[in-house]
Amino acid sequence: MSPRRLNATAASLLGFLHDEPLTGWDLVATAQQTIGDFWSLTQSQVYRELAWMAEANLIEARERGPRHRQPYALTPAGRRAFADWTAREPGPETIRFPLLLTISFGRHVAPDRLAGFVRSHHERHATRLASYEAQLAIPATVESGDPYRRATLDFGIRYEQAVLDWFDNLPVPIQSESATDEE
């Protein structure tokens, strides 16, 4: 069951365990907060990876805490596995953007419906951008916080800005609700 290579999700969990032992629950929360915007993961996956990493001796279960909490600590082997992972060339990113798919087949979509989709996505991205900028406005995040966090946040801001600019420059048939003929 063990002969599998460390994947990026598992590696991230090991990364978080460098600071202190954490439970699955904590790891889900931490991961979603810090890397969730460019590396989503679910609770289910986390427990699955933890089980596997424990079996592979990359992490070690500690004493259960209050609410049956199960903390895991990094082992020397886990530390090594993480270091090996950091040395691997990170692969290319993948984007899966359903709205672009719908736009691709735009000639088969009712114009006002398409415009509606664009509007709701616009709103979502504007909200996200605002939240990133708010985080950047907290001095602690920027000054004392590590520059790496700042860098990923900066990526998020540039990305959201690019998406919003794109929305705002979409041609009228896609963007606004000038209803015309249908297919």
Contacts 24+ apart (CB under 8 A), 16-21: 17/59, 17/72, 17/73, 17/74, 17/78, 18/74, 18/79, 18/82, 21/62, 21/71, 21/72, 21/73, 21/74
Site residues (vs a second copy, CB under 8 A) = 8, 11-12, 15, 18, 34-35, 37-40, 82-83, 86-87, 89-110, 113, 117, 120-121, 124, 146-152, 154-155, 158-159, 161-163, 165-166, 169-171, 173-174
Q: Which is nearer to DNA, 45 or 141 (CB)?
A: 45
- Binding partner at 4 among a second copy, DNA, none, C-beta below 5 to 8 Å by kind: DNA
The side-by-side arrangement of strands in the sheet containing 22-23 is 22-23, 71-74, 59-61
One-letter amino acid of 165: D
Residue 25 interacts, among DNA, a second copy, none and using kind-specific CB cut-offs from 5 to 8 Å, with DNA
Closest distance between DNA and the C-beta of residue 128, in Å?
A: 17
Q: How far is CA 5 from the centre of its chain?
A: 21
**Binding interface with DNA (CB under 7 A):** 3-4, 7, 9, 23-26, 40-45, 47-48, 50-51, 66-71, 94, 96
Task: Report in angstroms how near the CB of residue 164 gets to a second copy at its nearest.
Answer: 10
Q: Which one of a second copy, DNA, none is in contact with 152 (Cβ closer than 5 to 8 A by kind)?
A: a second copy
SS3 9: helix
First vs last C-alpha separation in the chain: 53
- Of these partners, a second copy, DNA, none, which one is at the site of residue 162 (CB under 5 to 8 Å by kind)? a second copy
